[in-house]
Chain A
């Protein structure tokens, strides 16, 4: 789910960037450092929408580092998937183990074991899972509603595992496609 939250970050700026455009430099460095990154706690930072406050700069003791630290509070849009959350995703890859789908920046894997039993894997040019009567088909580019049952975070992304075996989950019927 997308959230709009306030985060804080200690930005380090070299005095050579001080002057009239200090704030502008701080903000562009913040955007460069933070947009597109991911953390386990907040999820993916999609976009920074505003700066709430810039605190007083802290000059470090000693001469080891000339960088001054500014605490910056900023508002941003984040995408954070949660265990138990139901969301819609676009299928990107289908194989005999299950299928991969993407929801925004997050990748979700749905294992064969969490796909309804009446759907079988069909190999070929366009691998897919189909029901025995051919009425429902899961293949690349189709949209599915799934439930996230687990999340894993590594350094730069969040990876999820999902299921479509519950009520109201599975392929979303697109009336345009049926016609």
Chain B
């Protein structure tokens, strides 16, 4: 625990190793893990037995967080890549936010953008 007293995520004291590392957004993680899972499915009939509990839990977790936002992974990645600052900009870039009868309110969109910017802070 000795090294941990100095760590503080809020002040970006997370160790050189992690400051230089690539942070992954939940949508990126779900893509990687799903891809790996599919690869395992091709090799064996019961991929669930082959993956560790850590893998399973992580996959379930990211899928759950993503589904709460009610956006497809693609939309989430586009928003993450482009970092629009206002809801108007976001809808211009990802028109499907307002179609498909899902009608995300401007407030909900602003909230999602805030969440994304929290993550972007590290990059």
- Report A-chain residues with C-beta under 8 Å of the C-beta of B24: 1-4, 77
- Report A-chain residues with C-beta under 8 Å of the C-beta of B61: 90, 102-104
The one of A3, A102, A103 that contacts B21, using a Cβ cutoff of 8 Å = A3
Interface window among A19-27, A58-66, A145-153: A145-153
Q: Is the CB of A105 within 8 A of B32?
A: no
Q: Is the CB of B23 within 8 A of A83?
A: no
The total of chain A residues at the interface (CB under 8 A) is 38
Interface window among A44-52, A110-118, A127-135: A44-52
The one of A5, A82, A86, A175 that contacts B7, using a Cβ cutoff of 8 Å = A82
The one of B1, B23, B51, B118 that contacts A152, using a Cβ cutoff of 8 Å = B1
Digitize B84-108: 1 where CB-to-A-CB distance is under 8 Å, 0 elsewhere.
Answer: 0000000000000000000000001
- Report B-chain residues with C-beta under 8 Å of the C-beta of A40: 1, 4
| A:55-82 near B, CB below 8 Å | 77, 79-80, 82
Q: Is the CB of A104 within 8 A of B57?
A: yes
Q: Is the CB of B64 within 8 A of A90?
A: yes
Q: Is the CB of B64 within 8 A of A84?
A: no
- Report A-chain residues with C-beta under 8 Å of the C-beta of B1: 40, 152-153
Instruction: A44 to B25: give the CA distance in the assembly, Å.
Output: 16
The answer to whether residues A46 and B55 also contact, given A2-B23, A104-B62 and a CB cut-off of 8 A, is yes
Q: Is the CB of A172 within 8 A of B23?
A: no
Q: How near does chain B come to A54, taking the closest CB pair, in angstroms? A: 20
The one of A2, A47, A143 that contacts B55, using a Cβ cutoff of 8 Å = A47
Q: Is the CB of B54 within 8 A of A45?
A: yes
Whether a CB of chain B sits under 8 angstroms from the CB of A120 is no
The answer to whether residues A83 and B9 also contact, given A5-B17, A90-B61 and a CB cut-off of 8 A, is yes
**Chain A residues close to B by CB (< 8 Å):** 1-5, 35-38, 40-41, 44-47, 49, 77, 79-80, 82-86, 88, 90, 102-105, 143, 148, 151-153, 172, 174-175
A-B contact pairs, 7 of them (CB 8 A): A3-B22, A36-B51, A36-B54, A44-B58, A46-B55, A82-B7, A152-B1
